[in-house]
Every structure is written in structure tokens, then in C-alpha cells.
Chain A
Amino acid sequence: MPLQTPPLRGLHDERGAKFTEFGGWDMPVEFDSIRTEHAAVRDGAGIFDVSHMGQLHVTGPDATELMQRLTSNDVSRLAVGDSQYATITDEDGVIIDDTVVYRLPDETEQPTYLFVPNAGTDEATHQRWIDYRNEWDLEATVDNRTDEYAMFAVQGPEAIELVDGVTEESVADLERFEARYATIEGVDCWTARTGYTGEDGVELIVPWAAAEEIWTAFDCQPCGLGARDTLRIEAGLLLSGQDFDPDDDPRTPYEAGIDFTVALDTEFVGRDALAEIEARGVEERLVGFRLIDRGVPRHGYDITNSEGRVVGTVTSGTMSPTLEQPIGLGYVPVEYAEPGTTLQVVVRGQSKKARVETTPFIDTV
């Protein structure tokens, strides 16, 4: 299958980016070096092209009910301009994907939402929304607008000031998870104070055709998916398909440690299974850990206890550019999940000492 290309593939190539396949998209992984890009975001500001993320648009008299019944958080709490992190779960409460749901200004006087599923999942998610809408006989229009919007993230302690200097209207007063349309180069851009780095900043959802004007309006370090990954691991944020995967590593929000995305007082697919799991308690949990010995933990490596028995698996790992220490995330039985617990990670047949730590690994917003 040919790779989908983000609107600015050519521009990034000219800038000297290296590319990688991610979720069926040909995305910039590195512009200068992961270290340089990572440091720019921790210390100043960086801009990411995340146009591989999906954009699904839902509007109509029953739009709120449809969103409520297909995502785990409480959509009824969203006023226009609010957003929330949520999961999409199956009947067993297993996370299919995670997403951010934005409530847009009403369209034709009807509640309207835009939500952002992960790269490569937009078509299946679109179909899921259509199927349930039909089954439940709800009145809502569901459009897959992934190919109509580019998405950029401007992140870092200086990001808000930078964005505020580029938008016609001030955006400095936006609160975390608040969003509105702001004008950049004469174009309406959905501007949300959200992100995936642990830093302050915004994510911009912009018309595909205006992508270049908007990208080039920002004078800061361009960053690729490589730095995005090291930044989100330090912030203890999950990556769909890696830290949970409905096929290869089915996990509930409770196991993944994102209990706050589950509103059990709402009705949604997976709610009953999750209520049962919440009452019973989980057997395994996602933890953060730091390697004490030299080595780099990677996705799929075994985690062993002090007797050398395999008790878990690394889901994400890297050499943290900020801490200059090897860190990772992985699932272990709850008896090993307490911070301070000593475990081992098996790196190419050798056991490396590791210690469970609280996440995020760094101070975040």
C-alpha cells in the first residue's frame, strides 16, 4: 500500500528531514537531531507536523449522545471550546485507541465535535461511528476529514508567547484543554492548548491547503516523530499501538493508568466491563522505570523479577535526553508496581537492573 504523505512532505525534505513510515504515513522523524529537537522543546519551543493524526467530525442533534456512547470520558461536560482526553473501548473495556475530543462551535445550531484518533486508525474509527449510529438510530453526520486538515503542534515553555505573536487574536488566555479558532495568515485555525510533550503549547488543526503558510509563520525548531517519542516517554504519555494494542497487547484504561478517562457514571461501549474491573481491581499495571545498569530498554524486552522469572514486558523505552538516563514504560503485576521496586530488564540476554519510578519522569505542565 502506498504511504500517505503529509501536505508539507516536500518542504520538510528540502529542510533536510529524514522520514519514517508511521501508521501508513511517510512522516519526518528527524530534522536535525533528536537531542537538538528534544532540548528545543524542553527549553524553548519546537514545531511538529502531526498531520498523520486523524480528524473525525461529528455534528447533529444526537452528536453528543453518539460521542458519549463511544468514548469513555464524559462528553456532556464539554462546553464549546472544551476538550478532553478519552479512550475508545470495546465491549470488554479494552482500549481500541485513545483520542482527544474537541467541542467545536455549534454548526447549524447543532452540537459539533472534532476528535483526533491516531495515525492509520481514522478509517476504522469512522466506520465504527457510522455502524453504531445506524444501530442506535441516532441523527448525526460523521465525516472523516483526515485528508482535509493538517495538524501542527507548537510545544515548549516559550510556545504560547510564540503562537500569540503569530495569531491575530490573543490565545494566551486559553486554559489547558481549552480551544478556539484563531486567525493565522488570514486562515481560521482550530487552536487548542493541548499537546503530547509534557510542555505547555498548542495544537493547531488547519486546512490542508493553507498548511505551508501556517507552518512557515512559526520561527522555531522543526521537530520530528523521534523527539515527539522521547518527549512523550519522559512525560509518561501513552502511545497507541505500542503501550496498548487491541490485538497484540489488549489493555484496559485501568491497567494503562489512565483511570481519569473513564466516566463510569455515563453509558458507553465497555462501561459495564470496566465497572466490574474497577470493583475487582487490576492484576497488572503500567509503570515507569529507570535502568540502573547501562543499556537501553526497548519495546518488547522482558521484565524479570529478582529470581529471574519473566513478570512483564517493556512497551516503550529510550535513553532520556533530559535525564541522560535510560527510562521506559511496561506492564507488571501490581505487586511489582510500587515505586522503588527493583526489577530487571533483559537486554540481548543480559539482565539489567531497573527501578520502578513514578511518572512523569520530569516536571510537566
Chain B
Amino acid sequence: MSFDVPDDRRYLESHEWALETDDDTVRVGISEFAQDELGDVVFVELPDEGDDLAQEAEFGVVESIKAVSDLYAPVGGEVVAINDDLFDAPELVNEDPFGEGWMLEIEPADPDDLEALLTADEYEEQIA
């Protein structure tokens, strides 16, 4: 089975993606591969807006029926938005992991954080 790995964003080895937005924030979610491994997502725990995260710090938890998985911040900075649709509709993570299933937006403290992440090609190789 092959999974979509859009090349407009970067990836963490722990399967989070990071996409630069037009507002210079970084939007974060988990990959299609990750949601498939988890199966039916039933619960997402996210930080509060205003929280500060270090790069690769744990920022929340995603739970499927069968598993609990920690979430890690691809870039450090302040949380400026969270996707609270996921509280009532966690299945969005399964249905549209790269779109409607996004989790949070971070205002990066250090723009170089993004450069340190895996490219789409590198991530695709990791999950192959």
C-alpha cells in the first residue's frame, strides 16, 4: 500500500507534518501513513493557544480505538491556533490528514527549525 506524501511540506520521523502558511505560521498534523497505522481516531488532546513548545517537544496525544500515540512538535514556538473541530470530529484525522485533520499552528521561534526536518522524499523513503 502506498501513501500520499505531499511535497509542499516537511516531516518529522515521528510522522508529524509541518506546512508553512501564508501568515508565516507553521501548520501541523500527522501523515496519511500515521493515521492508517493508528486506525479509527477517537480522541485528540491538544495544547492551549499561547503555550510555548520546543522543537520535538510532546504537544499532545492522538488515540485510536486500539492505540495511544504521543504527538511531537516539528518546530518550536508559540501555539497560535488549534483545530478544535477535532474534539467533536476526531475522525477528520483519518478522513483528511493533510487538510481538515490539521492539529495546530505554531509561530516558529526559529525559522531554521523547518529546514532541519525531513523532505517529502526522505520521509517517503522512511515509510517505504
Please list the residues of chain A having a beta carbon within 8 angstroms of any beta carbon in chain B: 16, 18, 29-30, 33-35, 226, 229-230, 294-296, 298, 318-319, 321, 348
In angstroms, Cα B63 to Cα A35, docked, is 14
A-B contact pairs, 26 of them (CB 8 A): A16-B1, A18-B39, A29-B66, A30-B39, A30-B66, A33-B39, A34-B39, A34-B40, A34-B64, A34-B65, A34-B66, A35-B40, A226-B39, A226-B65, A226-B66, A229-B66, A230-B65, A294-B43, A294-B87, A295-B43, A296-B68, A319-B42, A319-B43, A319-B65, A321-B40, A348-B45
User: Which residue of chain A has its CB nearest to the CB of B36?
Assistant: A18
Is B61 positioned at the interface, with any CB of A under 8 Å from its CB? yes
In angstroms, Cα B39 to Cα A226, docked, is 10
CB distance from B40 to the nearest CB of A (A): 5
In angstroms, Cα B42 to Cα A319, docked, is 7
In angstroms, Cα B69 to Cα A348, docked, is 12
In angstroms, Cα B57 to Cα A258, docked, is 46
Residues on the B chain within 8 Å of A318, using CB: 65
In angstroms, Cα B64 to Cα A230, docked, is 12
CB distance from B68 to the nearest CB of A (A): 7
Beyond A294-B87, A296-B63, whether A33 also contacts B68 by CB under 8 A is no
Q: Indicate with 1 or 0, residue by residue over B79-103, a CB within 8 angstroms of chain A CB atoms.
A: 0000000010000000000000000
In angstroms, Cα B39 to Cα A319, docked, is 13
Residues on the B chain within 8 Å of A294, using CB: 43, 87
Which residue of B1, B39, B45, B68 contacts A298 across the interface (Cβ within 8 Å)?
A: B68
Residues on the B chain within 8 Å of A33, using CB: 39-40
**Contact (Cβ within 8 A) A35 B43:** no
**Contact (Cβ within 8 A) B65 A321:** yes
Q: A16-B1, A296-B63 are in contact. List 10 more A-B contacts (CB 8 A).
A: A30-B39, A34-B64, A34-B65, A226-B39, A226-B65, A295-B43, A296-B42, A296-B68, A298-B68, A319-B65
CB distance from B15 to the nearest CB of A (A): 16
User: Which residue of chain A has its CB nearest to the CB of B66?
Assistant: A226
Chain B 1-44 interface residues, beta-carbon cutoff 8 Å to A: 1, 39-40, 42-43
User: Which residue of chain A has its CB nearest to the CB of B94?
Assistant: A33
Q: Which of B39, B43, B66, B68 has most A Cβ within 10 Å?
A: B66
Chain B 48-89 interface residues, beta-carbon cutoff 8 Å to A: 61, 63-66, 68, 87
In angstroms, Cα B39 to Cα A30, docked, is 9
CB distance from B95 to the nearest CB of A (A): 11
User: Which residue of chain A has its CB nearest to the CB of B61?
Assistant: A348
Residues on the B chain within 8 Å of A16, using CB: 1
CB distance from B64 to the nearest CB of A (A): 8
CB distance from B127 to the nearest CB of A (A): 14
Residues on the A chain within 8 Å of B61, using CB: 348
CB distance from B79 to the nearest CB of A (A): 18
In angstroms, Cα B119 to Cα A343, docked, is 47
**Contact (Cβ within 8 A) A35 B87:** no
Residues on the A chain within 8 Å of B87, using CB: 294
CB distance from A104 to the nearest CB of B (A): 36
CB distance from A200 to the nearest CB of B (A): 23
In angstroms, Cα B35 to Cα A33, docked, is 11
Identify the 10 closest CB pairs spanning chains A and B, nearest first. A319-B42, A34-B65, A35-B40, A296-B63, A226-B66, A296-B43, A33-B40, A34-B40, A34-B39, A319-B65
Residues on the A chain within 8 Å of B66, using CB: 29-30, 34, 226, 229
